Amino acid sequence: MDNNLNTLIAYYEEEKIRLLQLIDNYVKEDEYQLAHFHQEALYQLNGRLQTLKNIDDKLYDEKTFKRNTIKRMEERLSSETSEHMRDFLVKELSKKKEELARLDERPVQTNNSDNKIILDEVFFKLLERKIKSFKLVLKKSDNLFLQFNYSNKALKVSLPFVKLHKKKMTLYNSSIRSFNHLGFSFTKNESKLVLELKGDKDEILGNLKITLSKIVFEIFYFKEFTNESYIEINEKSSR
């Protein structure tokens, strides 16, 4: 595991323990509003932990699902009185444990950086006015994409069809608030969210990478975009 990633995961694990203790204390003191507030923070933290662990190991979700299945079956077995059902559970448990063991034996599959390199190259071409604009399609099946344009030393990032995405529940009010916190604002008819980044090219690119990371890993769950994402380039700039 990468040292920085390992450190970040360890930090979030410690924060998770702290939040669980706070929630337990607030419930004991009948401070339910504070308990709810910290429960929301715990929900967000768990999402970030899940993302980080999936970055470290692409099989993390599958392994976790099997471990949870085994745990539930063991709990069921401990209280089951029917001999027939106990025999069935024992056989199924054995299968699930073998499946998990095979997964654990497989080499850890980390995410490679090929897509990141390609995206960096496209951003560079856009800022150098070698291409006019491009789309980063996040989820083709929902027509969810970000549009990028660069002019007058400002990069404009647009998320169109917001009303439609809300209707289809691709976006929620909480998602839109998260976009607002990143600096996106609505156009007049509230059909599009737009972010404008200014500064020198290195500054724009640095801020853009942070923004995109938060969109992909915090607002959404990055696995939603598996086999759904691609780049669509408007090739020639009108320079």
The mean pLDDT value for 2-18 works out to 80
Within this chain, do residues 87 and 140 fall inside the same structural domain, yes or no?
no
Indicate whether 86 pLDDT > 50: yes
Cα separations (Å) of 172 from 135, 138, 154, 175, 229? Answer: 22, 16, 28, 5, 20
The pLDDT score that the predictor gives to residue 43 is: 86
The CB density around residue 77, as the number of other CB atoms within 10 Å, is 15
Q: Of the residues 80, 105, 130, which one is the last residue of a structural domain?
A: 105
Q: How many domains does the chain have?
A: 2
Within this chain, do residues 79 and 151 fall inside the same structural domain, yes or no?
no
Looking at the DSSP bridge assignments, the partners of residue 144 are: 139
Q: In this structure, is residue 79 part of a structural domain?
A: yes
Q: How far is Cα 206 from Cα 128, in angstroms, rounded to an integer? A: 15
Within this chain, do residues 48 and 83 fall inside the same structural domain, yes or no?
yes
CA atoms within 13 A of residue 36's CA, in its CB half-sphere: 4
Q: How far is Cα 193 from Cα 159, in angstroms, rounded to an integer? A: 5
Q: Of the residues 52, 75, 105, which one is the last residue of a structural domain?
A: 105
Indicate whether 113 pLDDT > 80: no
Within this chain, do residues 25 and 119 fall inside the same structural domain, yes or no?
no
Within this chain, do residues 60 and 136 fall inside the same structural domain, yes or no?
no
Q: Which domain CATH number covers 169?
A: 3.30.1460
Q: Band of the pLDDT at 33, cuts 50, 70, 90?
A: very high
Within this chain, do residues 56 and 28 fall inside the same structural domain, yes or no?
yes
Q: In degrees rounded to 5, what are phi and psi of residue 194?
A: -130, 135
The mean pLDDT value for 8-30 works out to 90
The pLDDT score that the predictor gives to residue 109 is: 60
Within this chain, do residues 222 and 129 fall inside the same structural domain, yes or no?
yes
Q: In this structure, is residue 87 part of a structural domain?
A: yes
- Write out the residue range of the structural domain in which residue 41 sits: 3-105
Indicate whether 76 pLDDT > 80: yes
Indicate whether 167 pLDDT > 80: yes
For 169-206, how does the pLDDT look when each residue is reduced to its tens digit (9 = 90+)?
Answer: 999 898 999 999 999 999 888 889 999 999 888 888 88
Within this chain, do residues 154 and 51 fall inside the same structural domain, yes or no?
no
Q: In this structure, is residue 180 part of a structural domain?
A: yes
Which amino acid is it at 21? Answer: Q
Within this chain, do residues 120 and 86 fall inside the same structural domain, yes or no?
no
Q: In this structure, is residue 239 part of a structural domain?
A: no
Indicate whether 238 pLDDT > 80: no
DSSP labels, the chain: --HHHHHHHHHHHHHHHHHHHHHHHHHHTT-HHHHHHHHHHHHHHHHHHHHHHHHH-TTHHHHHHHHHHHHHHHHHHHH---HHHHHHHHHHHHHHHHHHHHHHHSPP-PPPSHHHHHHHHHHHHHHTTSSSEEEEEEEGGGTEEEEEEEETTEEEEEE--HHHHHHTTSS-HHHHHHHHHTT-EE-TTSS-EEEEEESSHHHHHHHHHHHHHHIIIIIS-GGGGTTT-EEEEE-----
Q: Of the residues 73, 105, 137, which one is the last residue of a structural domain?
A: 105
Which has the higher per-residue pLDDT, 72 or 51?
72
Within this chain, do residues 63 and 120 fall inside the same structural domain, yes or no?
no
Within this chain, do residues 170 and 218 fall inside the same structural domain, yes or no?
yes
The pLDDT score that the predictor gives to residue 1 is: 47
Within this chain, do residues 216 and 176 fall inside the same structural domain, yes or no?
yes
Q: In this structure, is residue 194 part of a structural domain?
A: yes
